[in-house]
Chain A
């Protein structure tokens, strides 16, 4: 049997990888996103000479976190709910050669870790955030999260969510992230390219992937993936009658000095001044 080319990045390798099938529910999008991340990293390692050991994966708590803890044959940490970014920040500041990849979810980033999220973007730290947005708290039984759409039914909103939802990409962009994109599990190639671009960007990159949770939305995965095609619209092609559709594409792609460069600059300027004095 032919081996999947990404199996080498999994922790254990049997004929199909000992860690397969994934622990996720059938039809969950997390496995797809893991594959997208591997493909982007594989490209960087094989084509651009990135060192495997320089990647470090950090996740918080939620379904997404299982990817980091159970599967990755990389340095990784399964940390505390919402605290991915401070931990990734610490790792990066201690060793600026690292490429921290933060795998997170909508609850982890948009709710309990919201404060860290906006400040990581503001600092433009050189790290990549991949957010699996399934629009609810999957691991604890499908409660509303800050990205649950208005009107959507969850276990804490049995008659529909009456609150407004966060657009995490707009939030990242406003807070200062220098690469921001949203794709879905129905857009694998675009997702891989966005993660790749995010990893190459020297600054904070935020890539949101809408990822289906068939278990809690009680829908078939294929139907949900079809809806990701039908209910989304490319940002640059948005028309007035697209209201209600989810914009996908690149929300931000700009260059600006990242935290480490700015820090080094001020250190150098102070050192030069001291030498002159």
Chain B
């Protein structure tokens, strides 16, 4: 058994990259991701991790270096946040369409302007169509475990896709939490050494990313989508195996007190722990609330979502991003789409809150529940909580 210890979540994640025996790490400093790669730089410098650490000149270069490294068959990792992720944007699509298995941690932070270094999901949500497997961690243990699982998933011959792990900046990345650290022996038993067949191999020359006109482009994109959707059964198999070895079970979404619920909250990320305690508080008051926390954001787990929410009549979705000009935030849009033409039509409200690090407390979730149960209609636009008017 691994050691249960108090550790900063960024460091727990970095330790998992070390346990995965990553070969190449390329990164550029950006708050609040920095502690992850700083710790990795230290591990490499101290000889604890036999990897190449490349301190590049921008995030665009970081992800590009990772592309090259993964193409050469190396186990590859990077981490970023906010503007750094936005700056990587064009390369993120290339990593997935070239089917390059690399792993990235994103310490979610909002986007400029105004400049703000604190957490929301404004950075990651605009990247939802990049074709990566996207996971959201709720706590330090999960950030640690998901990282090891991510390498196994990315490199599976049925998948060969990049995987990213989101963790809320500061509210999760900088917390010191009790984490059962996996031992190197356990990690090695779970994740075998990198045996990726180098895409770039002098013995077998080929061109990556060559021209693909209208006669093939559609088919390439279809295949990519098939591969992404096909990652789900592989991920479930990996989660089963992980649970067998470590006793910690993972699913595409977590549910809490949904039995007999009259309303379900839907959340993502670290704030779900607060939401869970709000559910307890509401239940004590006689309001039958429950929670669905989405862990697997891409591919979106429609089937699991629909079955876990059956037969709850009312749903309150938290979106930590304001999607300007859109009907709702990205999470609510996804949930509403899942229910479209479904035999059962619950009331679904989208609540936009917790932007730019504004605190989400139990009060927020209780307000979401109260307003939803009071009958605010699901065809109204998003409800913006906690907006202070001058």
Which residues of A line the B interface, CB within 8 A?
61, 69, 78, 80-82, 110-112, 114, 137, 139-141, 143-144, 146, 155-159, 163
Contact = CB atoms under 8 A, between A and B. Distances in A.
Contact of A155 (B41, B87, B115): B41
B229 to A, nearest CB: 35
Contact of B29 (A69, A140, A157, A163): A140
Nearest to A160: B45
Given A82-B58, A112-B57, A146-B57, A140 B34 contact: yes
A101 B128 CA distance: 38
B53 A156 contact: yes
B41 A158 contact: yes
Chain A interface, DSSP helix/strand/loop, else mixed: loop
Contacts of A78: 113, 115
B334 interface: no
Contacts of A82: 58
Interface string B20-45: 00000000111100110110011001
Contacts of A155: 38, 41-42
Contacts of A146: 57
Given A78-B115, A80-B112, A112-B57, A143 B45 contact: no
Contacts of B112: 80
A111 B57 contact: yes
B173 to A, nearest CB: 13
Contacts of A140: 29-31, 34
Most chain B CB within a 10 A radius of its CB, from A141, A156, A159: A156
Contact of A156 (B30, B46, B55): B55
Contacts of B59: 112
Contacts of B83: 61, 80-81
B35 to A, nearest CB: 8
Interface in B49-69: 53, 55, 57-59
A136 to B, nearest CB: 10
B58 A112 contact: yes
Given A110-B57, A141-B34, A159-B45, 8 more contacts: A111-B57, A137-B29, A141-B29, A155-B38, A155-B41, A156-B55, A158-B41, A158-B45
A156 B58 contact: no
Contacts of B28: 111-112
A78 B34 CA distance: 21
